Chain A
């Protein structure tokens, strides 16, 4: 092929970078606009943001940070909510508000760590199985996934956690093991249908390697559902973590854990209701926040597809 028109364009790299920036900004603003229209999503976003900030700045925000550690004050034990102790005190005199704030930390950590392992692992497996649809590799991966899904989640988590020593780390291990197959399944479905799209075929015909196709063509189209699911999952991972610590398989005393606090406080119901109710409320709010955020992300993405 002989190029009869010699074009040496004046390519000003600075201008090009401005184009790039402008485009990315437009793309972001478009997505944000769609998201911010929905009040509930904004509520979710706000809640999650608050929770994260509280967890990070716990020592500064909590009125009695030392109550989060080994501390006893039997004089003030079992006091109902008051101006001094906004959520009241528990059976050994610790401020429940401060403990709840500190308990957000292991909850969030559990979510972050578990998802941090589960998502890359599960997504990678799903991508490979989805793109290799119809081959032995796909079958092997998906049948293993099926096995893990078949076992009821909580049962599996309990089984693992009870075999290992009861602490936060092992609770995270338990949840990780039972959580990854859901990502594999989600991405498997997405990846297999994307593999039939013309643009993937175009890349294959161009001679792109399988790796480039999986990570360059297919994965970018999966981010949306991945982030949505992650957001929804945060809430549930935290819930499972709380459930585990409720039965004593999570964070051990005297470290505060939301589930543990509910469990401990349950024997004091209904008279000293605040000991169990506030941690439970905290769980509800955190989970709800992540759910609303996730729903908002989902709406934003489905709207984008149509628009």
Chain B
């Protein structure tokens, strides 16, 4: 596809200045999302998935965060360089986000109608004002789309009167009310029961199909990603270590971390539980040199300890950041070596 990506994160570095030093969290993240695509961002706690997306929306408070390097292009514009006014327009109309805990995302003292109304009002062009009745009419529509019963009455209800699943659906409704081009869903099903999560994810799937909205789904659950995405990027300790079309990733995971992660998930068909991956995710204060996964990698080689692996293209849309696949062409990403040396462009 030669179309320009909707979202193009290039060589993103994010650091945090904290008591005790500098956390070097994101270490050169590259990710592109095309219009209408559903991309999964998978990783464990602390991998940097939410940080990446917060950088896109520019909601990382700087300080203590700082972005020393990198660009984030949304519809061709570098989001990191936009004025405050312009970024406000991007948020909500260009990019919407739904969060892990719908209870925390909704203000408990305002009615659903008030919160939905606020979202809609914000999305109107500056000179347009809506009457109360018009606003109310417009607010009902998104609620209907997420299959909430009795949406009129819902407008006057308060978040705490609803169940968790309903709240998450309200959040989805609010996020899609402005028909954004990109939706970022941060662990949308984690705080919900499995049957409700299933419902919510399928609803989300239907809605984005209809509107051709691109989605970045952040999750730690491989099962969820398999069922709901076209492409998956696996993150570990601030880097994307592997990226592939979903079916391909599950059929042949190449990065040792991806393999370890998949092996660690208990199978519904039984067969026992693997011991998982020994060790734990490194601290960002003093991350390991070279490949950040090397202390835990069962296939570690000498080069892994001193040099950061570039991404190698191993197939159609399948890239992996691992020296085990050095034979393949490097994509030219992630090329800042530890010593800040020369860039190898192939």
Measured CB to CB, the residues of A under 8 A from B are: 34, 37, 303, 307
Q: Give A34 to B20 CA distance when docked, in angstroms.
A: 9
- The CA-CA distance from A34 to B19 in the complex, in Å, is 8
| A232 nearest CB across to chain B (Å) | 22
List residues 12-41 of chain B with CB under 8 A from any CB of chain A. Answer: 19-20
5 contacts across the A-B interface (CB closer than 8 A) = A34-B19, A37-B19, A303-B19, A307-B19, A307-B20
Contacts of A37 in B (CB 8 A): 19
Chain A: minimal CB distance from B286 (Å): 15
**A-B complex: 3 closest residue pairs judged by Cβ atoms:** A303-B19, A37-B19, A34-B19
A94–B19 Cα distance when bound, in Å, is 50
User: Residues of A contacting B20 with CB < 8 Å?
Assistant: 307
Q: How far is the CB of B319 from chain A (nearest CB, A)?
A: 36
Q: A37 CA to B20 CA in the complex, in Å?
A: 9
Q: Give Cα A37 to B19, complex, Å.
A: 9
In the bound assembly, the distance between CA atoms of A303 and B20 in angstroms comes to: 11
Interface size on B, residues (CB 8 A): 2
| Chain B residues whose CB sits within 8 angstroms of the CB of A307 once the complex forms | 19-20
For the complex, give the distance between the alpha carbons of A34 and B18 in Å.
Answer: 12
**Whole-angstrom distance between the Cβ of B46 and the nearest chain A Cβ:** 14
**Chain B interface residues toward A at CB < 8 A:** 19-20
Give the residue name and chain of the A residue nearest to B18 (CB).
Answer: A307
Chain B's closest residue to A303 (CB) is: B19
CA distance A303 to B19 in the complex (A): 9
In the docked arrangement, what's the CA distance between A53 and B19, Å? 32
Which residue on B lies nearest to A37, using beta carbons? B19
Q: Which chain A residues border B19 with CB–CB below 8 Å? A: 34, 37, 303, 307
Closest to A38 in B: B19
Report how far A307 CA is from B18 CA in the complex, Å: 10
Q: Which residues of B contact A34 (CB under 8 A)?
A: 19
> Nearest CB to that of A34 among chain B residues?
B19
Least CB distance, B18 to chain A, in whole angstroms:
8
Residue of A nearest to B19 (CB): A303
For the complex, give the distance between the alpha carbons of A170 and B147 in Å: 74
Chain A min CB distance to B64 (Å): 13
CB distance from A202 to the nearest CB of B (A): 24
Closest to A33 in B: B20
Shortest CB–CB separation between residue A24 and chain B, in angstroms?
21
Once bound together, how far apart are the Cα atoms of A307 and B285, in whole Å?
13
B76 smallest CB distance to A (angstroms): 40
Task: Give the CA-CA distance A262 to B19 in the complex, in Å.
Answer: 43
The distance in angstroms between the C-alpha atoms of A307 and B16, with both chains bound, is: 14
B283 → chain A closest CB, angstroms: 11
CA distance A34 to B21 in the complex (A): 12
Closest Cβ of chain A to B304, distance in Å, is 30
Cβ-closest chain B residue relative to A299: B19
List the B side residues contacting A303 at CB < 8 Å.
Answer: 19
CA distance A260 to B56 in the complex (A): 64
Docked Cα-Cα span, A95 to B20, in Å, equals 48
Closest chain-A Cβ to B327's Cβ sits at a distance in Å of 44
Q: How far is the CB of A33 from chain B (nearest CB, A)?
A: 8
Kindly provide the distance from the CB of A299 to the nearest chain B CB, expressed in whole angstroms: 10
- Measured CB to CB, the nearest residue on chain B to A307 is B19
Q: Name the distance in Å between A74's Cβ and chain B's nearest Cβ.
A: 58
B236, chain A: closest CB distance, angstroms = 23
CA distance A116 to B19 in the complex (A): 34
A286 to B19, CA, bound (A): 29
Minimum Cβ distance to chain B for residue A132 (Å): 31
| Docked pose: A117 CA to B20 CA in angstroms | 38
Instruction: Compute how far the CA of A307 lies from the CA of B20 in the bound complex, rounded to whole angstroms.
Output: 10
Complexed CA–CA distance, A192 and B20 (Å): 33
Q: How far is the CB of B134 from chain A (nearest CB, A)?
A: 46
Q: Cα distance A307–B19 when bound, in Å?
A: 9
